Amino acid sequence: MRLFLISFFILLTACADRLAVPVSDGPVAGGDEQTILVASLRDSMGTDWFTGERAETLSFLDVDVAIPPERDTGQLRLHRHANVDPAKYFTITDRQDYDSRRAFSRAIQNQMKDVPRDQQDLVIYVHGYNNSFADGVFRAAQMAHDFDITGAMLHFSWPSAANSLGYTYDRDSVLYSRDGLEETLRAAADANPRRIILIGHSLGTMLVMETLRQIEIKSPGWADRTLGGVVLISPDLDVDLFQAQARRFAELPQPFVIFVSNKDRALQLSAMINGYHPRLGGLESAEELSEFPLTLIDVSEFAEGLGPQHFTVGTSPALIKILGAGSELQSAFDEDRAARSGLLPGTVITAQRATQVILSPLLLTQ
């Protein structure tokens, strides 16, 4: 077991400078460009970009990200140097800073001003453990591009150490960042988008739940009134803790979707680190969550490779095709759980208020 852990950590840290931000002059022929709004609680420590250190106040900005043409759907190609080939790797081409929360809210509005009102969705992505500033921004850009998000994409960048040995630091940073995410969510609401979809990944799901819980205590019903959906991807979150957090809500915002996989090695490692206590992202049954109105989507059969298993939703071309279906699938989520299950290729199990969908790639060809 010790050899496995050492090998795993070496694999995760086998890169050049985790804090380097690749830049370029613009997308190459055949490439695309995606604007990502960013609220960051990272400190720049006197550098041009952001480190893993904690800042006392939020920074608001947006960045233009060049999407390389030489990539497959779901593929996030990164290079740990400041200057790289934009034909092969994700790069940042421009940056705009905002000096206040109000100015940031106006920037969110401006991102959507040319989009029809019925498409003015704001998607907020909260990254997970062991992410640098560039890691999170590029993942947000990849999702916005591959899922063809027509509204605006906002990334909340909390101060992860971007080090595989920094798990405890990252968990503390999650708690440190609750007020920052709350301020970001309220700034997003001030922009008056048609709908706000909040997405958390891995350890970032703890930040999502802790922040929504503290808002619920202060402003009962705010999340249910304000958010148009919550998505937890591979949540590195103790099951008992999630239940305690969810019980604090008068009603969870809808839809509330949790993507799980029993092949997620990162969550298996987290369970070992945390005394073999089950993680929410590794649940194989909705029975433990039956009291809550939510949908558990099992994507185990789509997992491939080592790293992508912890973000199957965003890296599997087949899943992106299903989940990016657009208006038809979204309408089903808005209306009722029974309708949505008919649009997803898999087995559907109902456990009181919860619905479990076990997706199968074999059914895609039937």
List, for residues 296-350, the tens digit of each pLDDT value.
998 888 776 545 566 666 666 665 655 655 444 455 445 545 444 455 666 788 8
- Quick one: pLDDT at residue 277? 79
User: Comparing 27-36, 84-93, 310-319, which segment has the lowest mean pLDDT?
Assistant: 310-319
Average pLDDT over residues 269-287: 82
* Percent of the chain at pLDDT exceeding 90: 56
Q: What percent of the chain has pLDDT over 70?
A: 80
Q: What is the pLDDT of residues 100-120, one digit of tens each?
A: 999 999 999 999 998 999 889
**CA-wise closest residue to 143 among 158, 172, 164, 121:** 121
Give 263-270's long-range contacts (Cβ < 8 A, gap of 24+).
263/300, 263/303, 263/309, 264/234, 264/303, 264/309, 264/310, 264/312, 265/8, 265/306, 265/309, 265/310, 266/202, 266/234, 266/236, 266/309, 266/310, 267/234, 267/236, 267/310, 269/5, 269/8, 270/236
pLDDT value, residue 224 = 96
Residue 6 has pLDDT above 50, yes or no: no
Average pLDDT for residues 218-245, to the nearest whole number? 95
Q: What is the overall mean pLDDT for the chain?
A: 84
Looking at residue 70, what is its pLDDT? Answer: 80
Is residue 122 within 8 Å of residue 90, measured between CB atoms?
no
Residue 151 has pLDDT above 80, yes or no: yes
Residue 107 has what pLDDT? 97
With 80 as the cut, is the pLDDT of residue 16 above it?
Answer: no
DSSP annotation of 311 reads G
Residue 79 has pLDDT above 90, yes or no: no
pLDDT band, residue 82 (cuts 50/70/90): low
Query: What mean pLDDT is predicted for residues 269-279?
Result: 77
Better-predicted residue by pLDDT, 340 or 268:
268
- Reply yes or no on whether the pLDDT at 173 is more than 70: yes
Look up residue 25 and give its two tokens: 């002059």
Could you identify the residue written with the tokens 């931000």?
21
**Poorest-pLDDT segment among 30-44, 92-106, 268-282:** 268-282
User: Is pLDDT of 123 > 90?
Assistant: yes
pLDDT of residue 159: 98
Reported as a pLDDT band with limits 50, 70 and 90, residue 4 is very low
> Quick check: 226 pLDDT over 90?
yes
Residue type, 115: V
| Of the candidate ranges 57-61, 122-126, 353-357, the one whose mean pLDDT is the lowest | 353-357
Distance between CA atoms of 62 and 34, rounded to whole angstroms? Answer: 10
The CA distance from 71 to 88, in Å, is 7
Query: Does 268 have pLDDT greater than 90?
Result: no
